[in-house]
């Protein structure tokens, strides 16, 4: 029985991808695996949408792609973060953190005084 999962919003997915490629050249499968493991598979993404997202980020020049050989000697497309992408990641992280704090604070707030 799988645990309940959260639909990942598109903007959030972009941010997660940027984070995933920030440690060096990775292929799409590795990105999917990392998101799976890092979030304990809570954020179960539809992997079909992962690739358009990667290509979108490449078109925006936030990530760059090169073809290389995978660990098992297969032809694979590797992605790396560009300086522009790094700046974007920093910005989105800050925004998301503030948003999360705000929501959390609201949920933890004492009941409204009457």
Q: Point out which residues bind another protein (CB under 8 A).
A: 27-29, 32, 46-49, 51-52, 55-56, 58-59, 67, 70, 74-77
Of residues 48 and 111, the one with the C-beta less far from another protein: 48
Of residues 7 and 108, the one with the C-beta less far from another protein: 7
Question: What is the C-alpha separation between 27 and 4, in angstroms, rounded?
Answer: 27
For the bound state, the minimum distance from the C-beta of residue 22 to another protein, rounded and expressed in Å, comes to 20
Sequence-distant (6+) residues with CB within 8 A of 95 are none
Q: Is 86 helix (H, G, I), strand (E, B) or coil?
A: helix
For the bound state, the minimum distance from the C-beta of residue 9 to another protein, rounded and expressed in Å, comes to 16
**In this structure, what DSSP letter does residue 40 have?**
T
């Amino acid at each position: 029985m799988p645990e309940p999962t959260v639909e990942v919003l598109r903007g959030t997915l972009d941010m997660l991808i940027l984070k995933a490629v920030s440690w060096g050249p990775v292929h799409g499968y590795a990105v999917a695996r990392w998101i799976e493991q890092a979030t304990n598979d809570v954020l179960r993404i539809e992997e079909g949408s992962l690739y358009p997202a990667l290509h979108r980020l490449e078109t925006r020049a936030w990530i760059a792609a090169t073809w290389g050989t995978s660990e098992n000697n297969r032809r694979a497309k590797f992605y790396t973060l560009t300086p522009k992408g790094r700046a974007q990641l920093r910005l989105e992280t800050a925004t998301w953190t503030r948003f999360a704090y705000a929501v959390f604070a609201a949920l933890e707030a004492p009941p409204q005084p009457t």
